[in-house]
Amino acid sequence: MNEMVTIPREEYDRLRAAAEDLADLQAHDRAMSGLAAGEEELIPADFANRLLNGESPLRVYRDLRGLTQAELAANAGVGRVTVAEIETGRKQGSAGTLHALAGALGITVDDLLA
């Protein structure tokens, strides 16, 4: 039952590269489908860089949405001071608070914890 096929290394490398290219194309297609369906969004590079540089995700997404701390707090049903404390890292925020903030921003709680 163990059938073995021997192929030249060059052919093996070509087949592996083709398989990786196919996987990349499939990932691209899934991402584009998510964008078209409104399930995903593109983040402008300056905001993505702020996240990568360790800035508070809450502040970055709030700025991306064009909201003040007071507006976000009102939309989420939490206090403005709570938003400020989470953005500055003085507090982490309860699960309920993070869920409310994420909902008001149209993101997941995981996005806030990144």
Q: What is the pLDDT of residues 77-86, one digit of tens each?
A: 999 999 999 9
Mean pLDDT of 94-109: 97
Tokens at residue 84, please?
Answer: 């400020």
- The per-residue pLDDT for 29 is 96
Instruction: Determine contact, residues 63/91, Cβ cutoff 8 Å.
Output: no
d(CA 114, CA 8): 45
- The per-residue pLDDT for 80 is 97
- The per-residue pLDDT for 2 is 84
Tokens at residue 28, please?
Answer: 């691209």
Does position 110 have pLDDT exceeding 90, yes or no?
yes
- The per-residue pLDDT for 98 is 98
- The per-residue pLDDT for 56 is 97
Q: What is the pLDDT of residues 9-52, one digit of tens each?
A: 999 999 999 999 999 999 999 999 999 998 888 999 999 999 99
CA dihedral 32, 36, 40, 45 (to 10 degrees): 70
Region of residue 73 (left: phi > 0; alpha: psi -120 to 50; beta: else): alpha
